[in-house]
Structure 1
Amino acid sequence: MQSTQPELHMTSELLHELAPVRTHSDLTRTILKGLEELTNGGVLVRKGRAWLAGGVSVAEDYRYTDSMNRDRIAIRFGSWLCLALALKVSREDTRQVLLSAVKKHPIY
């Protein structure tokens, strides 16, 4: 049985735009910390630029150029990680944006 790859519909850039925190770098560090905890806990496996759960990609990093022409890293992810991050973040506005994304893109 072939597993369906979930849509990675959210990005750290979009999340920062919808629920601003101090900087995109701060938000990226929070997301990377969550991914690190899930990886260290054996839930995720890092393979190249992707984080996999049971062989299915749940997040990936990518490069972009910011408004000051600097090379930056961002994270693309789907509802699975939105839900996990919603349980981790302390800012209510960020949590609501993440939960709204899960409602628009249900896991099941």
Structure 2
Amino acid sequence: MLLVVFAMIGIFCSSVLPFITIFSASPPIRIVSLLIILFIGITYFKVIKQMTNESSLLFLALPVTALLFIYSIGRATFLTFKRGGIEWRGTVYSYKELKQKRK
């Protein structure tokens, strides 16, 4: 559970927060946010150019897609606890089964 929380916080801080803090009243925070967004943009442009034919401007949707990803992680975790395991293709694998297979 702790790993899920850290993952959700990490995704939020790295992919959503810079797009929010760029509107900060503090100039140093704005500059750092701009640099982070610029670094994310450069990385996205390189990756998208190499792997797809899609527009590199898709990185502007990153905050929205990151929030959707955080939601899906949270929902999957909630459903896993609610069901007592993971459901895959109509079969529920309990925590006990999953832990035994990991050993």
State the TM-score bracket (shorter-chain normalisation): 0.3 to 0.5
Identify the structure with the greater helix proportion. Answer: 2
Which is greater in Rg?
2
TM-score, normalised to structure 2, is 0.33
Q: Which has the higher contact order (CA 8 A, sep 6+)?
A: 1
